[in-house]
Amino acid sequence: MDLPPCHKRCPRRRLLWWLLSGLAVLSVASFLVTGGHEELLSHSLPFFLASRERSANDPILPSSDAFLLLPPPDTCTPRPPFLLVLVTSAPSHTLQRQAVRETWGGVRWAAGYPVQTFFALGLPREPSQQAALQREAEQHGDIVQGRFTDTYANLTLKTLALMGWATTYCTGATFIIKADDDVFLNLPALAQHLGTLTNARGTYLGRIHWRVRPNRDPHSRHYVPASLYLPTIFPPYCSGTAYILSGDTAAALLGVAHHVPLVPVEDAFVGLCAHQAGITPQHEAHMAGSAHFPPDPCCYREVLYSVHGVIPSKMLDMWHSTGLCGTWQRTLGLLRCKTLAWLAAL
C-alpha cells in the first residue's frame, strides 16, 4: 500500500473531485425534483465542498453551516475534557442514546479525569423526525448533527464530521474516543490506561484488523470498487466499534484526508488516513472489537475497555449490576472473559 503525497496532478484527488462533481450534479437534480432549500443544503457534502478553496494540505474542517444541531457554545470550556467520547448514532436510535446517557455516557469524571460524551448523527431520511431530534438536542445538549444523509454508506462522512467538530469546537481534548451506540465503554479503566501513557501524541488505539481485503461485491454494504481503491488489502486499522485518537492524531488525519480515497468503510478509511499520515495503529486487547462477549458485569465493568453489540436493556443491566468481579475472576481477568466469549460463540 503506497499513497504518495499528491502535488499538482494527483489521480486520486481527481477521482475524488469527479465523484464529488457527480454528487453535486445529482444534488441539483434531486433539488429540482424535490424542491426546498433544506434539501439542497443537506445534499451539499459541506465538509468537502467548503475545502475547495483551501490548499491540499489544509485539514478538512467543517464549514460553518456543516452542522444543523450543535451542543451549546460553552461546551468544552473552560476546560476541555481529557476524554471526549463521540458516539456515532442514527437519528432513529433514541433508545440507544438514552441508554448510553443513563449509563457510562452520563458520567463527567472517570478515574479522576474529566470526560464528556456526545452523539454524532446525520440528517434523518424522514424529515419529520427532525423535530424530535431538535427537542432531544435542546434537552440534553449532546447532539452534533452534520448535514449529510444518515445512511450506512455515509458513515465515513460522519467520522469526518465528528473529528472536524472535535478539532474545531472542542479543541484541547487529550483523547477522542469514537464509539458506536451499541458499545459499552468502561471509561474508568480507559481513562486510567490512557492516563499512564507517557506520550499521548500520535495515539491511534483499538482492536486492530489486519490484512483486510476490500469487499468487491457490488451488493455488499461494504463494497469498495477497485476504481476507488485498487490495492488488494487495507493497511491495518482499528475496529470502528470503538477506537481512540489523541487530539493531534485527529488533526493529522483530517490533514491528510484529501489524499485518501473516500472509501465508505469508515474504520478502513481512518486506517488509510493514519497510514498516509505515518501514524501506526496500536493494538489494545482489552477492546473487544467486533467479537461478541456475553453480558458479564465483571468483564464489562472491570476487565474490558469496550464491548460492542450491547442492546439498551443489557447496557442498563450491566450498569446497575453490583458485586462485579470476585477474587478469582479478577485474577483470571482477560483470559476468563475471552473464554466466555469463545464458549458463547460455539
Ligand X SMILES: *[C@@H]1O[C@H](CO)[C@@H](O)[C@H](O)[C@H]1NC(C)=O
Residues touching ligand X, count (CB under 6 A): 9
Q: Binding segment for ligand X among 37-45, 135-143, 182-190, 268-276 (CB under 6 A)?
A: 37-45
Binding mask 12-31 for ligand X (x = CB under 6 A): ---------------x----
β-strand pairing of 83-88 with 113-123: parallel
CB of 38 to ligand X, least distance (A): 11
Angle (CA) 158-287-142 rounded to 5° is: 40
For residue 43, state whether it binds ligand X (rule: CB under 6 A).
yes
Binds ligand X (CB under 6 A): choice among 92, 98, 130, 151 = 151
Comparison of 40 and 324: residue with beta carbon closer to ligand X:
40
- Looking up cell 468487491 gives 216
CB neighbours of residue 130 within 10 Å: 16
Q: Please name the amino acid found at residue 266.
A: E
For residue 145, state whether it binds ligand X (rule: CB under 6 A).
no
How far is the C-alpha of 157 from the C-alpha of 161, rounded, in Å?
A: 6
Binds ligand X (CB under 6 A): choice among 3, 12, 16, 45 = 45
What DSSP letter does each residue of 139-199 carry, written as one string? HH--EEEEEEE--GGGHHHHHHHHHHHHHHHSTT-SEEEEEETT-EE-HHHHHHHHHH-S-
Binds ligand X (CB under 6 A): choice among 3, 12, 16, 42 = 42
For residue 153, state whether it binds ligand X (rule: CB under 6 A).
yes
Binds ligand X (CB under 6 A): choice among 117, 154, 167, 306 = 154
Comparison of 39 and 317: residue with beta carbon closer to ligand X:
39
How far are the Cα atoms of 252, 254, 282 from residue 248, in angstroms, in the given order?
6, 10, 16
For residue 129, state whether it binds ligand X (rule: CB under 6 A).
no
CB of 213 to ligand X, least distance (A): 22
Structure letter (DSSP) for residue 76: T
Binding region for ligand X (CB under 6 A): 27, 42-43, 45, 148-149, 151, 153-154
